[in-house]
Every structure is written in C-alpha cells, then in structure tokens.
Amino acid sequence: MTDTPATDDRPPKPRPAPIADHDSAPYWKALHDGRLLVQRCQDCHQFQLYPRDRCLACRGPVTWEEASGRGTIYSFTVIRQNYARPFRNWIPYVVALVDLEEGPRIMSNVIDCDPNAVQVGMGVEATFEVVSDNAGIALFRPVT
Amino acid sequence: MSRGTRNGHRAVIAGVATSDYPRLPEMSEHAVHGQAADRALADAGLTMADVDGFASTGFFPMYATGVAEYLGLHPTYYDETNAGGASFEVLVEHAAYAIECGAAEVVLITYGSIQLSQMGRRLGTGGGGGAGFAPGPAIYDALWGNTLVGSYALAARRHMHQFGTTPEQLASVAVTMRQHAASNPQAQEREPITVEDVVSSRLVADPLHKLDCCVISDGGGACVVTTAERAADLRKTPIHILGAAHSTTHHMNISAMPDLTVTPAAQCGPIAFARAGISPADVDVAQLYDSFTITVVLTVEDLGFCPKGEGGAFVENGGLGLGGRLPTNTDGGGLSACHPGMRGMFLIVEAVRQLRGEGGATQVPDAKIAVAHGTGGMLSTGATLILGQEAP
C-alpha cells in the first residue's frame, strides 16, 4: 500500500451529486435553492434528519421546516488519506458532524478555514453549493 | 434466553482453526473457507460428512449458500446473517440456538477473505471514501469524502473531547497488540513498536494515525458448534457457550449513531453477561474487535470492564497485556496479526484456544472464562460471546 501520490494526472472530477428518492427529493431541491430543511413531526413535534417518510420517534407524519443553518461541531476529523476523486485532490480536508440548532445531526465538510483550527463545539453556519440540476448540498464554515 | 439445556441439548464449540494468513496470493476466497473448514473439522475429529448445519457470510447475498455449494455441503440449517465484523459472533449465537432446539447437530461456520490480494479490485479498510456506491440513506454520509477510518476518527475525537482520552492512550492499544503478535509466527506485523512510534506515524484521519489502524490481510477461520453429548466423544475438550447477545444502533451512517462514545456493546454486553450469569470481573481473557485502537477503548468501557470515559486509563501501561488488567487479543489482534475484513471469527478461535490452554507464548494462565466481542460497520453492530471451560 502506498501513500496518496502527490500528483494526480487524471481529469478533475466534480463533487458527487446525490440521486434523489421519494424521501429526499424536497431536501436536495431546497439545498439547490439555498435553503436547509429539516423534518418535523406533526404529532410529537420532534425534528429529524435524514429525511424519512415518518417520524423516527413516534411514526407520526412529518412536514418540512427551514432550518437556521447554524450549528455546532459535535465531532470532526481531518482526512489525510483518500484515494477517491475528487476528494484526493482536496486533502487535507475536514469532515464534521454538525449538530444543527434545531437538533438533528448531519455530516458535512467544514470549509473556508485552516483544518488545524477546527474544534469540537465550534459554531458553524451553512453555505450552499449546487451539485446537479435538482440537488445542492450544505457545507459549513466557522461563524465569525 | 439463558444458555441452559434445551430439548436435552447444550451447545459447545468442538473445533476451531484459522486458515493460513496473512498473504494468500495463490488461493481463491472460497479455498480459504475450505482450508479453514478442513482444519476446524479435523480439530474436532469430524469430517464434512458430519456437518448438517452451515453458516458463513460475505459481501454478496446468498453468500453462505455459495460457499456450501463450493464445499459440497447440503445443510438443513444455514445462516448468513451479516453484521460486518460482528457477524461470526452472531452466527455462533444463532448456531447455539439451533443446536439447543434440535434444528442441527453439527454446525460448521466458516470465514474466508483475500482482501489483501484483491486490493485495488475491491474497497479495503482504508478506502470507502468515494460516493460511487451509496444506496438509499447511505448517501447522506457519502458526499463528504469521509472514509471508514474517518468514521472511527470521529468517534475517537469525540471521546478525547468528552473524557480527555489522549493519543498516547489510544496508541498503547496498538503497542500491546504488537507485543502479542511478536509471539504469533503468522502475524502480519511482529516488529515491536512504542507509543512514540504510533503517535509519530502518519495521520490517516485525525486523530487516528497509521498505526492506530488495523492491517489489511488475507485469511479466514472456522469453528464447529455441536451438542455437548456429541462433543463428549470428540478429539478436543469442548468449550461451552455461556452467554451470547448482539445489537445494533445504526447502519451505514455514523451521523445516525446516537452517541459516538457508546457502541452497541453497551446494549448487548450486559445481556450476554446476564445470560451467562457472570460479571466482567470474572473474565480471564478477552478477544475484542480492534479495527482501530479507539474500537478497543470504547469496547472495554461498554462491556463494563471499566466505567465510561475511563477506557484510556484502562488500556494504557500494558492494561491489555499478559498480567495486565484484561489480557486482550492474545494473537496480536487486527492491529498486528491479521484483519481480512470481518475478523470476528479470529476472536472466537483465539478465545477457544486460550480456554483449552493452547495459547502458546501468550497463554493466559488458568484462563477459564473468555469474552469474544465483535464490532461491525461504522461502530454499528456488536455481538458478545462469553465462553467457558466448564459447563454453565
């Protein structure tokens, strides 16, 4: 096994885009339009992500609400080895679990900062990137 | 359900074996199953003709059926439950139930992998960082370039944050495993290492270094579960299944794990101990899945060998070594001996060998009770087997 080569002469590859299904299509579409949605149970009012057809807590019906986009870092890692494109070209980069203000925890990248400056408990806010005709993603940057 | 006698039967492990490892460039995956099976049956004093139950698992549906076909078996009990690295503890537990209720008399359980020789053709332990294969909800964690190591690193980082666990404490797990591997002539890595060697090795995914990660190997193993009555006339002293339990907290998405410092072992461990009627303090030797150093720290806490948060202090200064607080992974573990992908079978083989007194240079003196605990997926599955020299 060898370390990741310093150079990669293969053509650049775009960030992967999700394939939406019945549960997730509104989520990805809203992100495409620059809005982060969370689901909320109409019966027990609990927030949840990832999107599901029913409430995780009580199996009640769910609706969508727009999240504030703010959260804190629950945990993170700095990826320094990954052979998969496009990520290999971005090493080192931060993968984090972000606890949204509304409660749900999601995985994302923390960008626009020195990976070595990231800390558990750090405040972050969402920034959006379009990755296909009907999907976007939420990335996070430190709250300044 | 307690491990008592049911329908007159009590399940025991009558034979165990590993295949050759860690490099098998001239063997097929199925041949590794076969080699381990032949050896485990010979260990028990049985042949393929005695087998009426079969269990195995791998990466594809109907995997056990395929291995049975390759081996020429026509079992009337079979199982291929896949719980990742915890699979083989689950398969032994299920086999015990089958034996106890009379559904089978001789269950052969096999594992085989040529992951190392296939590197580049199939994702290895250090891979998994692309988004190419992310069915259904797996997509939510697949877009960020996270790797398998990265998921365990997220748990390690959180444990360090909450409990002050240090990289040096994590490193001490790898150091002890390497000490044990030095006595295992088959082990993939046998050169002694220090805590300093581990923490100065390349960071793969902070805070996990290269030497915090298991090796990638070829290899397999097998065991034979049968009735105590049948085992009485067989070659080796039977090892009793005192208690067993398994659980899951999530599947692919580490973002769905409720608390990254608490693994499924916290659910299934206490159940297994209760079923065995013993406490963690009664355990003489442990075989704990060590995909990464953090996996072991979390597992000793969750199985109740120390309070939550004190795993770092428990494992350091030779806590897992011979003569330590809990002699663990006496073959060198996945960190040094071998890790062909789903290592749970090796935990069972080594636990049985210890209880038979076949541990060689790393034999724990007078070992009467052993725990084998598998951890699979992204800390998603756990399965605990409590084995004993004596009948419950």
Kindly report, residue by residue over A61-79, the tens digit of the pLDDT.
Answer: 999 999 999 999 999 999 9
Low-confidence ranges of chain B (pLDDT < 50): 1-3, 121-127
Q: How many CB atoms lie within 10 A of CB B346?
A: 31
Query: Residues 148-167, chain B: which have Cβ within 8 Å of A?
Result: 149-150, 153-155, 157-158, 161
Q: Is residue A12 part of a domain?
A: no
- A61 lies in some domain: yes
* CB proximity A87 to B under 8 Å: yes
Q: Rounded distance, CA B167 to CA B189, Å?
A: 21
- Please indicate if any CB of chain A lies within 8 Å of the CB of B249: no
Across the interface, of A49, A76, A85, the residue whose CB is closest to B157 is A76
Q: What is the pLDDT of residue A11?
A: 73
Look up the domain containing A29 and give its range: 25-142
Please tell me which residue of chain A has the smallest CA distance to B147: A82
Domain membership flag for residue A106: yes
Please report, for residues A72, B170, B237, B327, B340, the alpha-carbon distance to residue B233 in angstroms, rounded to integers and kept in the order given: 62, 45, 9, 31, 34
The pLDDT of residue A4 is above 50: no
Q: Which chain A residue lies closest to B120 (C-alpha atoms)?
A: A1
Answer whether residue A3 shows pLDDT above 90.
Answer: no
Q: Measure the CA–CA gap between B261 and B281, rounded to whole angstroms.
A: 22
* Residue-level pLDDT at B56: 98
* The pLDDT value given to residue B175: 98
pLDDT of res. A144: 80
Looking at the structure of chain A, the number of domains it has is 1
Q: What is the pLDDT of residues B107-131, one digit of tens each?
A: 999 999 999 998 854 443 344 566 5
d(C-alpha B11, C-alpha B275), whole Å: 14
A124 belongs to a structural domain: yes
Question: Domain for residue A3, yes or no?
Answer: no
Record: contact A18-B207, CB cut-off 8 A? no
Q: Going from the N-terminus, what domains does chain B have, and what CATH number goes with each?
A: 11-118+215-388 (3.40.47.10)
Helix B293-302 crosses helix B167-181 at what angle (to 10 degrees)? 100
**What pLDDT is stored for residue B133 in this prediction?**
56
The pTM (predicted TM-score) of the whole model is 0.95
On whether residue A7 sits in a domain, the answer given is: no
Q: In angstroms, rounded to a whole number, what is the distance separating the alpha carbons of residues B318 and B325?
A: 8
Nearest neighbour of A83 by CB, restricted to B127, B140, B207: B127
Task: Report the gap between the CA of B387 and the closest CA in chain A (Å).
Answer: 36
- One-letter identity of residue B289: Y
CB atoms under 10 Å from CB of A42, counted, come to 11
Whole-number pLDDT of residue B127 = 47
Report the run of H or E that residue B34 belongs to, with start and end. helix B29-44
Record the tokens describing residue B244, joined without a space: 């067993």
Burial of B239 (0-12, 13-18, 19+ CB in 10 A): buried
What pLDDT was estimated at residue A8? 60
At residue B126, the pLDDT reads 43
Residue with tokens 């909800």: B137
Strands A123-132, A70-79: pairing is antiparallel
User: Cβ–Cβ of B129/A85 closer than 8 Å?
Assistant: no
How far is the CA of B375 from the CAs of A139, B65, B84, B143, in angstroms?
Answer: 31, 24, 7, 25
Q: What is the pLDDT of residue B6?
A: 53
- Measured distance CA(B86)–CA(B53) in Å, rounded: 20
Percent of chain A at pLDDT > 70 equals 93
The helix, strand and coil proportions of chain A, stated in percent and rounded to the nearest 5, come to 10, 40, 55
Nearest by CB to residue A80, choosing from B119, B143, B203, is: B203
Domain-embedded: residue A5: no
Closest CA to B82 of B53, B54, B59: B59
State residue A68's pLDDT score. Answer: 98
ipTM of the complex, rounded to two decimals: 0.94
C-alpha atoms less than 13 angstroms from C-alpha of B219 in its C-beta half-sphere: 26
The answer to whether position A113 is within a domain reads: yes
Residue in chain A closest to B149 (alpha carbons) equals: A79
